[in-house]
Amino acid sequence: MNFLTTLANAGEATAEPAQEGIFSALGIDLQLLIVQIVAFLILVWLLGKFVYPLLMKSVDERQKNIEEAAKAAKQAQESAAESEAETAELLATARKEAAEIVATAKTEAADIASASEEKARTSAEKIVADAHAQVAKDIEKARRELHDETLELIALATEKIVRKKLDKKADEALIVEALKEAK
Amino acid sequence: MSELSISELSKELRGAIESLETKGNLDEVGIVLRVGDGVAWIHGLRSAGYSEVIEIETEDGITEAFALNLLEDEIGAVLLGEDSTVKAGQTVRLKGSVLSVPVGPELLGRVVNPLGQPLDGGPAIKTKQQGLVERNAPGVMDRKSVHEPLMTGIVAIDAMFPIGRGQRELIIGDRQTGKTAIAIDTMINQAKQDTGVINVYVAIGQKSSKVARLVERLKQEGVMEQTIIVATSPSDPASLLYLAPYAATAMGEYFRDNSKHALMIYDDLTKHAVAYRQMSLLLRRPPGREAYPGDVFYLHSRLLERSAKLSDALGAGSLTALPIIETQAGDISAYIPTNVISITDGQIFLETDLFYQGIRPAISAGLSVSRVGGAAQTGAVKSVSSHLKLGLSQFRELASFTQFGSDLDDATKKQIERGQRLTELLKQHQYQPMAIWQQVVSIASVTNGYFDGVAVAKIKDAQSATLSKIWKDHKKDMETLETGAKPTEEILKTIETVAKAAAKGFEA
Amino acid sequence: MARKLSRRALALHVATHLVDGKPQKKIAQQLAAYLIWTRRTKELSLIVRDIQFYLAEHGHIAGTVSSAHELSAATLKEIAAFAKAKTGAKYVSLDTAIDESLIGGIKLEVPGYELDSTIARQLTTLKTRYKKA
């Protein structure tokens, strides 16, 4: 401060006579003004060196944060949209597969239905064929029984007749013949 | 003949009268001393041979018998009919031949008794040839090793215990475990797959109602045209039960000796042994273990040895046998079961426990075996079934751990789950034998893990979905598989895609 | 207990004695005594049949001829000749029997063999052997 006042006094002493008239008419103290200007310049230089960068840095930082936040928000929005599309795709695939399975099941069911229909038809035909076969069998059986019954009757008739007709002489003739043929 | 033709009838009668021999011969005769329990004791006939047929002249005609006991003073002959008509003092003559039955393709589709008489109400059997009931089995040089498969249509058997043509595979288990069901399914499969194998089913002492139901079922499935049924009911004389399997084998041998393939099913040999025991005890032969006669092993061994695969020089025909034995309380170390096990080339063991757990066919994978094995397995099935047997045996080892659930490590859990799926896969409904392609696709789907995501209870559904889909979309590939050749990479890939797609619908 | 002698052995023994010409009464007594002692009298008829069989082997045939009517001597001679020729025996002696139920023809019974050409048998054969059902 002493230096400042000395400087101010020196300045005052040299510049005083020339400028006395303008500045005193304006009411501006020239020496004080120069000191104030110097002080202001020093202040500006100090601010500029220490305070201004810090300030700017914090402002920059805040701006960056804001920018980043905005970017993140945008990204989130994009990915949300993407996963929505994916879900829709999966659903579509699942629906398609389900439809396929149902179609296979329907085919299988149709196959089973037609197979059982075929089976029913075949067994109906078989029943008819079996009935025919049974009738044929019954006739065959009746035929065989008739055959056997007739044999019995023949034997019975023969016995009755031969018993009556065969006398001693004829019998002996037959016996001799039989002996000849016997082995 | 669908009408009563009187002229035909009278022609036959005239023929009978004319052929009536008016002369007699000086025949060797004997007389019946006593009759009882199906055995006639005869005096005379000194030149009768062992097992020779003799004719007893009764009031109702001729009753045949065969001489089994040739003693110094008398002959013990077992009657082949009812003993009610035979009386003491009746004359007995030698027929002049040993026991033989009609054989030939005329028997196909018929139900006959062991003497060749029809039981199905149809016309009498007239064949061009007669086959000997007792015959020697083919010798060593007359045979070829078994190399052709006999597909049963049952996945468990065809994959793990394959049967070949000419093999004897015993089906053994307690009562009501599905022994006859396996035999019936095999017969149905021969018709379904058009294999050309003739079936001969011998019912030894089976209920007539059971045989009737069987005939109905076979007719329904269209199998009867290539089947011969030789049936004896429990009320038939023991001699007929004794002869039934031998007579039926004679009928099957006709096809074997004529370059064809035949399948014999003896249902069941336990009743056969019991009938033989009855006959032997009544013939006063000394009883052995469990009162069976000393030659009960020979009874079955000479029967089963006749089932063989013949060499190319003799026509390369074959006769496969599936004898059935009923055990009591699962005791396979009883007398008759051990005898027959040592005779046959493997056994399929059915367990009551498995049956009641719902595993049908109740085949015990651990105790069953086929001694012919891979040599007679279709290439297609062979390629996919190696993992099947291994998976099941590993599962059996770990079976007791299933109760621990989540406390097991991942590898064990995986094995258990795979085993459960394999067991579920091998379950099969009756009367639904599976073709080769169906078996290959089903086994491949499970052993390669395509069905690992499917719930165990839904395995059968997934299987049927896969099969119907693959048949619809890839019929040609399946027909290639059906020929039995090993599946190509392409076909395996097809199976993979279809199986995986079908599995999605049944996920747990 | 001694092993039971078979009927064949007994018959052979008796037959050999008879063929050798030894006294019949003695051997008959021996056999009867044995049978009573071993309580086998019921088997007598069978033993006699066996003895007849062995005698037939040695050339002595004893047979029966049954017929519906009485046969003349000439016919009987023919039958005896037939029996001799067929069995190769040296001595043939035939008993006769009348049986109306035979209707016609003869039934010749020799040890171990029989010739039955009676009409009754033929009718029975017709009724039974040609049966279909």
B3 to chain A: which residues are within 8 Å by CB?
Answer: 139
A151 to chain C: which residues are within 8 Å by CB?
Answer: 126-127, 130-131
End-to-end CA distance of chain A: 179
As averages over each run of 10 residues, the pLDDT of chain A (183 residues) reads 57 53 73 92 93 92 95 94 92 89 85 91 89 89 87 88 85 84 74
- The residues, ordered by sequence, that sit 6+ positions from B319 with a Cβ below 8 Å of its Cβ are B166, B249, B252, B253, B255, B256, B261, B262, B263, B264, B306, B307, B308
Task: Say how far residue B196 (Cα) sits from the centre of its chain.
Answer: 16
B411 in Cβ contact with B457 (< 8 Å): no
pLDDT score at B1: 46
Across the interface, of C105, C106, C123, the residue whose CB is closest to A155 is: C123
Pick the catalytic residue from B371, B396, B418, B421.
Answer: B371
Q: How many CB atoms lie within 10 A of CB B87?
A: 14
B40 in Cβ contact with B48 (< 8 Å): no
CB contact under 8 A, A126 and B219: yes
Tell me the shortest Cα–Cα distance from C89 to chain B, in angstroms: 14
How far is it, in rounded angstroms, from Cα B481 to Cα B484?
6
Would you state the torsion angle of the CA atoms of residues B375, B380, B382, B388, taken in this order, to the nearest 10 degrees?
-160
Active site residue B93: no
Tell me the shortest Cα–Cα distance from A162 to chain C, in angstroms: 7
A158 to chain B: which residues are within 8 Å by CB?
Answer: none
CB contact under 8 A, A150 and B219: no
Which helix H or strand E contains B98, and what residues bound it?
A: strand B91-98
How far is it, in rounded angstroms, from Cα B117 to Cα B394?
52
B39 in Cβ contact with B78 (< 8 Å): yes
Tell me the shortest Cα–Cα distance from C116 to chain A, in angstroms: 10
What's at B119, amino acid-wise?
L
CB contact under 8 A, A137 and B122: yes
CB contact under 8 A, A147 and C132: yes
B107 in Cβ contact with B275 (< 8 Å): no
- What is the Cα gyration radius of chain A? 71
DSSP track, B353-422: HHHHHT-SS-B-TTT-EESSGGGGS-HHHHHHHHHHHHHHHHHHHHGGGGGGGGGS-HHHHHHHHHHHHH
CB contact under 8 A, C117 and B33: no
Across the interface, of C6, C121, C127, the residue whose CB is closest to B73 is: C6
**C106 to chain B: nearest residue by CA?**
B24
C58 in Cβ contact with C19 (< 8 Å): yes
Which residue has 């013990």 as its token pair?
A: B76
How far is it, in rounded angstroms, from Cα A139 to Cα B356?
48
Question: Is residue A35 classed exposed, middle or buried when 0-12, 13-18 and 19+ CB atoms within 10 A define those classes?
Answer: middle
CB contact under 8 A, A183 and B502: no
B24 to chain A: which residues are within 8 Å by CB?
Answer: 178, 182
DSSP track, B44-89: E-TTPPTTEEEEEEETTEEEEEEEEEE-SS-EEEEESS-SSS--TT
Question: Which residues does B contribute to its contact with A (CB < 8 Å)?
Answer: 1-4, 9, 12-13, 16-17, 22-26, 121-123, 219-220, 464-465, 468-469, 472, 501-502, 504-505
A137 to chain B: which residues are within 8 Å by CB?
Answer: 121-122
A163 in Cβ contact with C105 (< 8 Å): no
Task: Give chain A's domain count.
Answer: 1
Nearest to A126 by CA among B119, B222, B211, B227: B222
pLDDT score at A73: 94
Nearest to C107 by CA among C119, C99, C115: C115
* Token pair belonging to B329: 């309380």
SS3 per-residue string spanning chain C = CCCCCCHHHHHHHHHHHHHCCCCHHHHHHHHHHHHHHCCCHHHHHHHHHHHHHHHHHCCEEEEEEEECCCCCHHHHHHHHHHHHHHHCCCEEEEEEEECHHHCCCEEEEECCEEEECCHHHHHHHHHHHCCCC
- Could you tell me the sign of the dihedral formed by the alpha carbons of B221, B258, B266, B120, in that order? positive
Nearest to C52 by CA among C64, C42, C41: C64
What's at B83, amino acid-wise?
D
**A183 to chain B: nearest residue by CA?**
B25
For residue B96, the 8-state DSSP code is E
> How many cross-chain Cβ pairs, A to C, lie less than 8 Å apart?
66
- Could you tell me the sign of the dihedral formed by the alpha carbons of B261, B267, B273, B279, in that order? negative
How far is it, in rounded angstroms, from Cα B110 to Cα B122?
8
Category of B316 on φ-ψ map: left (φ > 0), alpha (ψ -120 to 50) or beta? left
**A108 to chain B: nearest residue by CA?**
B468
Tell me the shortest Cα–Cα distance from C104 to chain A, in angstroms: 6
Question: Which residues does C contribute to its contact with A (CB < 8 Å)?
Answer: 67-72, 75, 78-79, 82, 86, 103-106, 115, 117, 119-120, 123-124, 126-127, 130-133
How far is it, in rounded angstroms, from Cα B299 to Cα B295?
6
Across the interface, of C72, C86, C117, the residue whose CB is closest to A172 is: C72
The angle that helices B489-504 and B459-473 make with each other, rounded to 10 degrees, is 130
As averages over each run of 10 residues, the pLDDT of chain B (508 residues) reads 72 81 80 92 92 91 92 93 91 92 96 94 91 95 95 95 96 95 96 94 96 94 95 95 97 96 96 96 94 96 96 96 96 95 96 94 92 89 88 84 74 89 94 94 92 91 91 90 89 92 82
* Token pair belonging to B92: 């007995």
How far is it, in rounded angstroms, from Cα A147 to Cα A154?
11
CB contact under 8 A, C128 and B60: yes
**A129 to chain B: nearest residue by CA?**
B219
How far is it, in rounded angstroms, from Cα B259 to Cα B254?
9
CB contact under 8 A, B73 and C7: yes
For residue B199, the SS3 value is strand
What's at B414, amino acid-wise?
K
CB contact under 8 A, B29 and C112: yes
Residue-number span of the structural domain to which A59 is assigned: 2-182
Across the interface, of B20, B29, B59, the residue whose CB is closest to C114 is: B29
